[in-house]
Structure 1
């Protein structure tokens, strides 16, 4: 194995895989993974937990059995919302049990079954903040990408975007019974100065920072 061998960035993905294979411990990462068993060990209101036994193929024709637990979670939308006329951004604060604090963040929420990304984002935005585009012509989506929140333990896929609003209107907010969210418009410097601990929110802010720098 040659761990010091440099990878040529102009090479193909297949060449990258061959370079990575130099450090293999025998697992064939070009072969599919087989599911030996799976069972739901927890069923909750927001997510389920599945216990899985998996077989990784090896280069010599055998397999290695591993065990994993995965959180089955609905996909979500994460939105950095930009008021273009005033050059302000929506900032939220709510209690987050994972970090055990009232955390700053961005509007976000779960997608319903069969729901498309953009309608889900506008629905969640209205429900959480009372903000809605004045018309279809007054909203522009800058899709940052879809990222797994923690791919080693969860299948939650976050669709991250920046929503630019030319004009917007206020609509009634609709919270779930146990949902308590504060929101306010802040300027760019204030947004960048607060401590954002959610990685998906930080990705959206970094994407917007790059846009602001390149469009100066």
Structure 2
């Protein structure tokens, strides 16, 4: 197993941080750090709130479907097919954020829900974490409550199709591939058949 928590021979000490940009979803800092060999370096760090995503699975085996959302993404300038998710608000638990985002974007609530994994999306420059939850047997329960600029279609997509096409076309969001990986691993760990 590879271990590391930022301590030891690879550790850097932050000397100073200067805010160079503050936007709606992230802040960029210029960070001066002292390395383990006594050398200083200037690094850009993108501070953002954590993100939470929920992988809603309906049914099992060949009949399994994912509840997904299609929305336009300005960074890629194209539509993206994704699992419901969004930012974790200050003081909010990641699991609560995942449930909130599922309800807001789809109007559905989770049946059983499990934490499937947490990763750093891009630890070279970003400080935030990406939390993945698996929701089994979600059900329609509430009215959707989209954010002001969200235009989202909620869709049921065959799980096998998502698995087969992940990384192509509208399914090319790297974090959704990560979420799918964690969901499959979580299913296997619970002895639930993977689609």
The verdict on a shared fold, with TM-score over 0.5 as the criterion, is yes
Shift of 1:160: 1.0
User: What is the count of residue pairs matched by the alignment?
Assistant: 183
2:125 corresponds to: 153
1:65 corresponds to: 40
Shift of 1:107: 0.7
Structure 2 counterpart SS, 1:191? helix
2:28 corresponds to: 49
Structure 2 counterpart SS, 1:30? helix
Runs of 4+ in 1 over 3 A off after TM superposition: 207-216
Structure 1 counterpart SS, 2:182? helix
CA contact (8 A) 2:95 2:115 kept: no
Unaligned 5+ runs, structure 2: none
Q: Deviations over 1:145-173 (max 9, x none)?
A: 111111111112100121112x5233111
Q: State which of 37, 41, 49 in structure 1 corresponds to 2:16.
A: 37
Structure 1 counterpart SS, 2:9? coil
Q: How does 1:1-216 map to 2 (within 5 A)?
A: 30=9, 32-58=11-37, 63-84=38-59, 87-133=64-110, 139-165=111-137, 168-194=139-165, 195=168, 196-210=171-185, 211=187, 215-216=192-193
Root-mean-square deviation (Å): 2.5
Higher alpha-carbon deviation: 78-87 or 152-161: 78-87
- Decide which structure has the larger Cα Rg and report it: 1
